[in-house]
Structure 1
Amino acid sequence: MLVVMLIAVFSCKQTKSIPTQKPKLDFASMLPEKFNKANIIEEEDYNVWGTNIIKGKDGKYHAIYSRWPKTRGHLGWVTHSEVAHAVSDKLTGPYEFKRLVLPPRGLNYWDGSTTHNPHILEYEGKYYLYYMGNRGSGYWDNTPDTVMPKYKDEEWWVNRNNQRIGVAVADDLNGEWKRFDKPLVDIDSTKRLVSTPVVSIRPDGKFLMVYKYVKEKEGMHGGRVVHVTALSDSPMGPFIDTGIPFIETETARFALDDHVEWFQDGRYYCIGKDHDGSLTEYEKGTMVLYISDEEGMDWTLAQQPLVLKAGKLFWTDGTETLCERTADMPKLYFEDGKLKALVIAVLPKDSDDSFSLVIPLND
């Protein structure tokens, strides 16, 4: 059974229990020097983002990803995103759109306007799809498809500040996904919103969720962005906060962002984005590697931390792409327990049109 084991990172304490005799992982050496444009996952009329790939019981490769109309611009992710499903006979594609998995379902639901940032986990023959959902006021339903939401729009913040975390369940990737009337993780008096869940199975059998929240503070923006860990005995929850923060710094307002985690060789690893350049000396937006103990609680920067520098992507056809976002929402593809591919989301510079890229890994 394929289990994509992922988590996140946010705390830079040295962990004594990490086995020092294990070889140090140099993830950057597993990446090719140049990437193949044939491995891009995109849609003509939609932005593509945050793509999970998992091999189904039918032997095909299934991509579960966020998408929203290109006419709504990049910031339309918070107002118009929906979770979609595409299929391919090959890991690297091409992928053909099949259907919507989590479409808009109306303002009566907590996730009725937007679904985004899916994270899929297979466990005991079932599939668990964790995601962010939100509900706006209905304002955007009455605007033309050519209207691009902006930060200056108060209604953009209505959707942004209503983000919650949910889970949908299916017996088969081609079957129906069951959604629920209440979120899996809700806000409290300290949290303006909760979002971007990543769930993995620990060696002790517990389910570890890492998610982010925005601290409650007067005004539309709220306060700092904080990542935390939560545990459950079931993939369906309840997830109880551990009180242990994820990777962060004391002074940064928004240190680590998009991340993915997995367990191998007696420890956890995490690839995450140095969002504002406060975690490393690399340029902000660079993807870096963290390591932890087998419980995923104590995290420190890896000995070889660089995964993928922010700024440019270099292609096998000799061209280059200057990027606004070089490698967001990283996801990993495993087969037979081995790492086979890294999947990233890309937003080129001076563009509102995004895509995902499958990067097969060197052995």
Structure 2
Amino acid sequence: MFRKTFFIVISFLCFLSGYAQALDLDGGTADLLEYVGVAVHDPGYHVWGSSPIYGEDGKVHIFAARWPDSIGVVPGWKTHSEIAHYVSDHPEKPFTFLKVVLSPSGRHSWDRMGIHNPNIKKVADGYALTYISNDGLEHMPANQRIGMLVSKSVYGPWKKVGRDGMILQPPANPDYWNFNPGNGVNNPALLPHTNGGYYLYYKTQKKGISTMGLAVAENLEGPYVQLPVPITNNDRVIEDGYAFSCGGKFYLMTTDNHGMIQRGGGLLWASEDGINFGSPTKAFHLMKDYLPEGTLPKDYSFHYGGMRGKFERPQLLLDSQGCPTHLFVPSGTNIHGGASTVSYVLRFEEQ
């Protein structure tokens, strides 16, 4: 009886140990990822971003930016980008276009032109979809702002919050660290806080260097109050943050544009409180490092970016505990060739 009880206790402790290891992301996630393939390919359109979530129907839904590939990546994302909804029965199977969720208003408003870089999150009353937009090329990128749509169902209908959907713009206080930023406020990453309220992470500028800021709100629709200091300590450009809470810690996954660890790779920032982030670890490698041949195929096509084979705008599919199971990333490099960009999916290997 003693031996049986001892065996059960040891087995349980081993299980807990394995579970803890599975949640330990502080060593970085780059070596935990395995390439699966293309997630979203929408013929005739460039696809950018690809924010995934499990819907109330158990299917996987992606909200991505798209625009006609005849326009080109630039200026297309700035002028014609719209948010499209895609769905699949499984995160590793192809996603099918469902409908357009939001297009540029075309009016004299903050969201007159490209609707871009969506981020989808589950909230208490349904779903929140944040995005960026601008009112014209004349003042880009300083005129970028952040908006929000809400819906009780992942299928919609979607409604702009407040008067016109905008929830964040640059601070009016000249003493703030990002007063009058050259890139506005953009690339939102919403995170419902475990103790209530909401954290909204975003990209902005400090002395010309893109870095991450944080705005907080008691209620989902705001008002969002920006912290007067940046939350990441980076001396080189980072962007495209994705926020999640796993194993009692807060994490931000960003791109590593100029090589804090590896130029063109990704960074994972960890925090105990979601405000104070230390030095990052590596979040993901370059595209070629995940391909079987270890290099890009000869017939790939290149459409955008400072370097070939660079993953962009990381977005994560989370399990019921808020921990990542899959990474979705677009790229200016299409490994299958063709006239448009696509979005890729990588799985987190079981530890």
Q: 1:191 aligns with which of 171, 180, 190?
A: 180
Q: 2:274 aligns with which of 296, 308, 322?
A: 296
**What pairs with 1:345-360 in structure 2 (closer than 5 Å)?**
345-348=330-333, 353-360=340-347
Structure 1 counterpart of 2:110: 110
Q: Offset at 1:103?
A: 1.2
Structure 2 counterpart of 1:58: 57
**What pairs with 1:171-190 in structure 2 (closer than 5 Å)?**
171-179=152-160, 180-181=163-164, 183-189=166-172, 190=179
Distance 1:130 1:70 in 2: 24
Q: Offset at 1:264?
A: 1.9
* 8 A Cα contact 1:202 1:208, kept in partner: yes
Q: Offset at 1:326?
A: 1.7
* 8 A Cα contact 2:255 2:265, kept in partner: yes
Cα offsets for 1:228-250 (capped at 9, x unmatched): 1111111111110121312133x
1:306 aligns with 2:293: no
1:120 aligns with 2:120: yes
Q: CA, structure 1 residues 99+299, in 2 after alignment: closer, same or farther (shift >3 Å)?
A: same
Q: Offset at 1:333?
A: 0.5
Q: CA, structure 1 residues 135+325, in 2 after alignment: closer, same or farther (shift >3 Å)?
A: farther
Q: Which runs of 5+ in 2 are unaligned?
A: 1-22, 173-178, 301-306
**Which 10-residue stretch deviates more, 229-238 or 315-324?**
315-324
Aligned residues: 305
* 8 A Cα contact 1:244 1:297, kept in partner: no
Q: 1:330 aligns with which of 309, 314, 319?
A: 314
> Residue 357 of structure 1 aligns to a residue in which SS?
strand
| Structure with max Cα Rg | 2
Q: Offset at 1:191?
A: 2.6
Distance 2:63 2:93 in 1: 13
Structure 2 counterpart of 1:286: 265
* 8 A Cα contact 1:36 1:316, kept in partner: no
Q: Offset at 1:115?
A: 0.6
CA RMSD in angstroms comes to 2.5
The percent identity for this pair of structures is 27
Q: CA, structure 1 residues 81+362, in 2 after alignment: closer, same or farther (shift >3 Å)?
A: same
TM-score, structure 2 normalization: 0.79
> Residue 340 of structure 1 aligns to a residue in which SS?
strand
Q: Match of 1:242, as an amino acid?
A: L
Structure 2 counterpart of 1:141: none
* 8 A Cα contact 2:104 2:112, kept in partner: yes
Q: Offset at 1:215?
A: 6.1
Distance 1:171 1:344 in 2: 26
Structure 2 counterpart of 1:207: 198
Structure 2 counterpart of 1:255: 237
Q: Offset at 1:184?
A: 0.6
TM-score, structure 1 normalization: 0.76
Q: CA, structure 1 residues 327+318, in 2 after alignment: closer, same or farther (shift >3 Å)?
A: closer
Q: 2:221 aligns with which of 230, 236, 239?
A: 236
> Residue 353 of structure 1 aligns to a residue in which SS?
coil
